[in-house]
A and B are shown apart, each in its own frame.
Chain A
Amino acid sequence: MSSLGLYFHVPFCGRKCGYCDFYSVCYRKEQAELYIQAVLRNIRHYSDLSRCTDTVYFGGGTPSLLVPEQLGQILDEAKDSFRLAENGEITLEANPSTLTLEKLQKLREIGINRLSIGVQSMNDEELSLLGRTHTAARAEKAVLEAAQAGFGNISCDLMIGLPGQTPQLLGRSIEKMAVLPIQHISAYILKIEAGTPFDCDQIRGALPGEDAQSELYLKAVEMLEKLGFSQYEVSNFAKPGSESRHNCRYWKCLDYIGIGPSAHSCCGGKRFAADPDIQRFVESPAQPVTVTDEAPCGFEERAMLLLRLREGLLLSNFPEHRKAIERKLPPLIKAGYAETDGERIWLTAKGFLMSNSVITYLIF
């Protein structure tokens, strides 16, 4: 039996960022308490002691708004209901503004061993445009204190393609970020989501164009590689051995259970999602879910997800499609989108940038 991952969606934010379309509500202490109780119920509901659970991830929202004691309650309950691995990866997403040395120490004590810090940029103007409450200096302090508190596995988020962002500005952000004691960087190209405050002419007009965004992305990849952060996924870079084990579950079609409003799961041969409704979540004995896929992880889906990883896909795992894939490969290689060693095929940075088209071309 394969191992399992646990994802907790913590749908609270101090304030909503203009670009974000994830499910979150304004933090209220009483509701957070009800939320914790509901999470504990759901942990018992999904309890599975038959297999090893080796990754736990608190995402959001802003999970670091919860106090360490609340997170500890959840982890304790998880230890009773799931077989948590000794060396399991336990990640908390954190907003730099919410972190203090004392809090970081407590987080270490309750078992959190990986932080994903929403730094986004090391440029104050960009941070203010994004609506973030921290400055570059505050982010730097948070990272240094985290390291001081004993965190040896820290990731920072970095946004690419911000309004007005030049290669020089991006380069400076990357340089400042990469010298911090961190092991991982998630670098996302900003995408304007429909219905968010960023979905307006003013922001869209200030965004770098398609070609400029591409340049920024390729520059980020090149710089990060040079600075020791290898690209292992479209948007993820890590020092050797520090790849996010939890996120890799998603690309490799490994099982995970998601708890919390809007959390997604892939487990027991189905994909399902908890309804994005905090009220119903706290009121229901078990979270209401909607099945999104009755038969997940078919060829198309696996290929699509694996090709997001630098290791790509192992052709021998797809004997039925191997011929078709190999036949279509030469133009991709010629155009510099993909590479192969005969056994595996994987996408280059240029290929990642075009991954939707490349994957569609390759598997249909």
Chain B
Amino acid sequence: MANDKIRNFCIIAHIDHGKSTLADRILEKTETVAIRDMEDQLLDNMDIERERGITIKARAVRLKYTAKDGEDYIFNLIDTPGHVDFNYEVSRSLAACEGAILVVDASQGIEAQTLANTYLAIEHDLEVVPVVNKIDLPSADPERVCSEVESIIGIPAMDAPKISAKMGVNIEEVLERIVTDIPAPQGDPEKPLKALIFDSYYDSYKGVIIYVRVKEGRVKVGDNIRLMATGAVFNVVEAGFMDATTLVNNGSLEAGEVGYIAASIKSIGDTQVGDTVTCDDRPCDEPLPGYRKVNPMVFSGIYPADGAKYGDLREALEKLQLNDASLSFEPETSIALGFGFRCGFLGLLHMEIIQERLEREYNLDLVTTAPSVIYKVTMTNGEVQYIDNPTNYPDPAVIQVAEEPMVKASILAPSEFVGNIMELCQDRRGVFKDMKYLDDTRVELHYELPLNEIVYDFFDVLKSRTKGYASFDYEMMGYVPSKLVKLDILLNGEIVDALSFIIHTDKAYSRARKIAEKLKENIPRQLFEVPIQAAIGGKIIARETVKAMRKDVLAKCYGGDITRKKKLLEKQKEGKKRMRQLGTVEVPQEAFMSVLKLDS
């Protein structure tokens, strides 16, 4: 197939704006999937993705389309993750394309996420093809949305296809635009192999499957390939493409093509997204630009609710890591929670997804500690430490300067919510940068915010204060010095390590009080009184007490019938297992969880 008959593209859309539905319609129209095999939203094949309506991992599929000019074209649709946590994966997916379809909801308009990814696409020199979706909605206003696209993004949009992916309206127009507007790939098949890894996953039979975009040269079965960042060399077993449901081993891939390579790769750690694949015998001079190792941004301790399930948890994490190189974990011990793992995530959504998959797919009951970011601490002796676990936070006496990570945040919302948003950002120690009106009713706000203020629940609160209309995106901007303290929670005079966290001084008092109150609500009255204290260093800044229970007795044990007493004893024994025993204090799992969700 000549390069000029290939189109490599992705779809950019905000959550719920209809990306997956459009992808399904395209698959249908190109008859890649027989109608009877159609499952709604075929590309998202993880349960969680389908339920949350988001795409977690990129995938790619090859489609065949006969255009109105009578020619057959090959479409490679590369599905991209839609969330900021996966920003880097998005950028690598974009680097594999020549064009992007920008899907905008005809009633909602452009959202922060879409904007960020569209700018990213433009940065990568992609041809952006706007499409206005959901024209079947009563509230649809395609004209307004088109002019919004023109004024905000600065690309012509008045003649954008106006479609309803749900109803299958005007899908062919989109397909024609792909042919006419998106450039064919460049690249010389005779040059040394140069291919970009934009995704990978672990297959229990074939080992790691890498998804590549071949930029130069060709790769075929039997070749020795080298992954340039890691230097690892593998022998190609399969090379081909993906149709909607299976891998098709074609024997080779050439410049311009998108496809997969299987090479008996055992560890997904070897196949880092963004890395360049070349030929071991005839390597290219230099790798493709833009590779970087993905580093976790948010950390949290994950513990099995039942200590006996520690081994199961490790196995589950190892399995998830096979498919998700950005997940990191190492063993950690907590006095309060026992044996568990310190896990690193790309962001909050990533963390939630991992937790949910552990609970759902591996049937584990988990206790999770409050998420923490990485703090940079310069000691008085000049040594610099990066702290991702509050337990390891040094004594304030030996800290010269403590710094915390900041993000540049962009928030898009209807103008009526500006007050609420500003209040929230201020409350989260945000520094206002600027605000501009996108049109008469919508504004874009820019703030600098500490990452630790948004890792808890920022997005949830933002949503609730804007009736769900605000969208939010952020990028890292580095470290700034900050007045940080470590807040410890003590139960019955003992520090509960799992509840410690690092916080800005100004926030410490109110948070300490809230935590103490929440714990009081969630720790049941028990045999002994439970003093709850919050402390910075040795100084107690908040205090509550769970009074001892007064009465827990079976008064009557009549006629020698002790079965009831024994049953009760068994029940209490069982109940005890569900509690965390901290000295003489019994703390239910819910108490730990409640502290994580303070502001709701």
Contact = CB atoms under 8 A, between A and B. Distances in A.
Contact of A250 (B553, B560, B563, B572): B560
A196 to B, nearest CB: 13
A357 B566 CA distance: 13
Contacts of A139: none
A264 B552 contact: no
B549 A292 contact: no
Contact of B559 (A191, A235, A264): A264
30 contacts: A22-B558, A59-B558, A189-B555, A210-B549, A210-B551, A211-B550, A213-B551, A214-B550, A250-B562, A264-B560, A264-B562, A271-B562, A292-B563, A293-B563, A304-B569, A305-B562, A305-B565, A335-B548, A352-B553, A353-B551, A353-B552, A354-B527, A354-B549, A354-B553, A356-B568, A357-B526, A357-B527, A357-B572, A358-B527, A360-B573
Contacts of B558: 22, 59
B571 to A, nearest CB: 9
Contact of B550 (A160, A251, A354): A354
A188 interface: yes
A148 to B, nearest CB: 29
Interface in A317-355: 331, 335, 337, 352-355
Nearest to B556: A188
B557 interface: yes
A33 interface: no
Contacts of B555: 160, 188-189, 191, 234-235
Interface string A45-62: 000000000000001000
Contacts of B584: 331, 361
A301 B562 contact: yes
A119 to B, nearest CB: 16
A249 B560 contact: yes
Nearest to B526: A357
B1 interface: no
Contact of B553 (A7, A256, A335, A356): A356
A359 B527 contact: no
Given A210-B550, A335-B528, A359 B560 contact: no
Nearest to A265: B560
A210 B547 CA distance: 13
Interface in A62-99: none
A263 B553 contact: no
A160 to B, nearest CB: 8
A358 B528 CA distance: 10
Contacts of A337: 527
A361 B562 contact: no
Contacts of A263: 559
Nearest to A263: B559
Given A7-B560, A264-B560, A354-B527, A300 B569 contact: yes
Contacts of B549: 210, 354, 357
Contact of A308 (B552, B557, B559, B572): B557
A258 interface: yes
B554 interface: yes
B52 interface: no
B561 interface: yes
B566 A360 contact: no
A353 B527 CA distance: 11
Given A265-B560, A266-B560, A364-B573, A304 B565 contact: yes
Nearest to B557: A250
B566 A301 contact: yes
- The residue in B548, B554, B562, B569 that gathers the most chain A C-beta atoms within 10 A of its C-beta is B562
A364 B565 CA distance: 15
A258 B560 CA distance: 9
Contacts of A191: 554-556
A217 interface: yes
A188 B553 CA distance: 11
B360 interface: no
A234 B573 CA distance: 21
Given A22-B558, A305-B557, A364-B576, 17 more contacts: A59-B559, A213-B550, A258-B559, A263-B559, A264-B559, A266-B560, A292-B563, A305-B565, A331-B584, A353-B552, A354-B548, A354-B549, A354-B553, A355-B554, A356-B554, A359-B569, A360-B572
The 10 A-B residue pairs with the shortest CB-CB distance, nearest first, are A214-B550, A360-B572, A357-B527, A189-B555, A356-B552, A264-B561, A188-B555, A264-B560, A357-B552, A250-B560
A231 B526 CA distance: 25
Interface string A7-31: 1010000000000001000000000
Interface string A200-243: 00000000001101100100000000000000001100000000
A160 B548 CA distance: 21
Contacts of A22: 558-559
Interface residues on A, range: 35 or more
B53 to A, nearest CB: 45
A361 B548 CA distance: 14
B594 to A, nearest CB: 23
B580 to A, nearest CB: 15
Nearest to A292: B563
A115 interface: no
B569 A214 contact: no
Interface in A272-293: 273, 292-293
Contacts of A271: 562-563
Interface string B563-600: 10110110011001000000010000000000000000
Contacts of B560: 7, 249-250, 256, 258, 264-266
Nearest to B550: A214
B3 to A, nearest CB: 73
Given A304-B569, A335-B528, A360-B572, A355 B559 contact: no
B569 A9 contact: no
Nearest to B583: A331
B173 to A, nearest CB: 66
Contacts of A213: 550-551
B437 to A, nearest CB: 59
A188 to B, nearest CB: 5
Interface in B503-549: 526-529, 548-549
B559 A7 contact: yes
Contacts of B569: 300, 304, 356, 359-360
Contacts of A256: 560
A353 B550 contact: yes
Nearest to A354: B552
A320 B346 CA distance: 52
A354 B568 CA distance: 13
Contacts of B553: 189, 234, 352-356
A35 B573 CA distance: 40
A214 B551 CA distance: 6
Nearest to A352: B553
Nearest to B553: A355
Contacts of A234: 553, 555, 557
B550 A360 contact: no
A265 B576 CA distance: 30
A364 B569 CA distance: 10
A186 B243 CA distance: 81
A363 B220 CA distance: 69
A300 B570 CA distance: 10
A204 B558 CA distance: 23
A337 B569 CA distance: 18
Contacts of A264: 559-563
A85 B558 CA distance: 24
A213 B334 CA distance: 40
Contacts of B556: 188, 191, 235
A56 to B, nearest CB: 13
Contacts of B527: 335, 337, 354, 357-358, 361
A304 B159 CA distance: 83
A9 B559 contact: yes
